[in-house]
Amino acid sequence: MTDRVEFRSVTKEYDGNVVVAPLDLSIAAGEFVVLLGPSGSGKTTLLNMIGGFASPSSGRVLIDGQDFTDLPPARRPTATVFQDYALFPHMSLAANVAFGLRMQGMAKPARLAKAEAMLELVGLKGFGKRGVHQLSGGQRQRVALARAMAVEPKVLLLDEPLGALDLALRRQMQEELVRLQKRSGATFVHVTHDQEEAMSIADRIVVVNKGRIEDMGPPDRVYLKPATLFAATFMGESNVLAGRVAAVSSGEIQVETPLGALVVPGSALLASDVHLVLRPEQLQLTPPANGFALGQARVEELSFQGTHCRCHCHMSGQDLVLRAPVSAGLKTGATVTLHAARDDVVVLKA
Partner 1 sequence: MVGRFASWAYLGIALLFIFLPVLVLIQFSFQGGMAPVPPFDGPSLRWWAKVMANRKITDGLWNSLLVGLGSAFMATVLGFLAAYAMARKRRRLSGLYQFLLMAPITVSYLIIGMGLQIFFNHLGIGKSLWVIGIGHVVINLPLTFAILYSQLGEHQANIERAAYDLGASDARVVLEITVPMLWPSLLAAFFIAATLSWDEFVIAFLLSRFDVTLPVVIWSMLRSGLSPELNAAGTLVFGISILAVALVELLLWRARRNRA
Task: Kindly list the residues in this chain that would bind ligand ATP in the complex (CB under 6 A).
Answer: 14, 19, 37, 39-45, 193
Cβ nearer to ligand ATP, comparing 39 with 303: 39
Min dist CB 57 to ligand ATP, Å, is 12
Cβ nearer to Mg ion, comparing 43 with 114: 43
> How far from chain centre, in Å, is Cα 57?
25
Element at 263 (helix H, strand E): strand 260-265
Min dist CB 52 to partner 1, Å, is 8
Within residues 100-129, the interface with partner 1 by CB under 8 A covers 100, 103-104
Secondary structure string (H, E, C) spanning 121-182: HCCCCCCCCCEHHHCCHHHHHHHHHHHHHHCCCCEEEEECCCCCCCHHHHHHHHHHHHHHHH
Instruction: Answer whether 207's CB lies under 8 Å from 46's CB.
Output: no
Contact range with partner 1 by CB under 8 A, out of 60-68, 145-153, 213-221, 298-306: 145-153
Cβ nearer to ligand ATP, comparing 157 with 324: 157
Cα–Cα nearest to 96, from 78, 83, 114: 114
Contacts of 227 (CB under 8 A, 6+ apart): 214, 215, 217, 348
Which residues sit opposite 63 in a β-bridge? Answer: 5, 66
Residue 53 binds partner 1 (CB under 8 A): yes
Contacts of 255 (CB under 8 A, 6+ apart): 241, 243, 244, 245, 246, 261, 262, 263, 264, 274, 276, 347
Cβ nearer to Mg ion, comparing 31 with 159: 159
Within residues 13-72, the interface with Mg ion by CB under 5 A covers 44
Min dist CB 12 to Mg ion, Å, is 13
What is the C-alpha R_g of the chain? 24
Min dist CB 82 to partner 1, Å, is 6
Min dist CB 20 to Mg ion, Å, is 13
Min dist CB 229 to ligand ATP, Å, is 19
CA 8/CA 24 separation, integer angstroms: 5
**What is the number of the residue whose Cβ is closest to ligand ATP?**
44
Positions that interact with partner 1 (CB under 8 A): 51-53, 72-74, 78-80, 82, 84, 86-90, 99-100, 103-104, 133, 147-148, 151
Positions that interact with Mg ion (CB under 5 A): 44
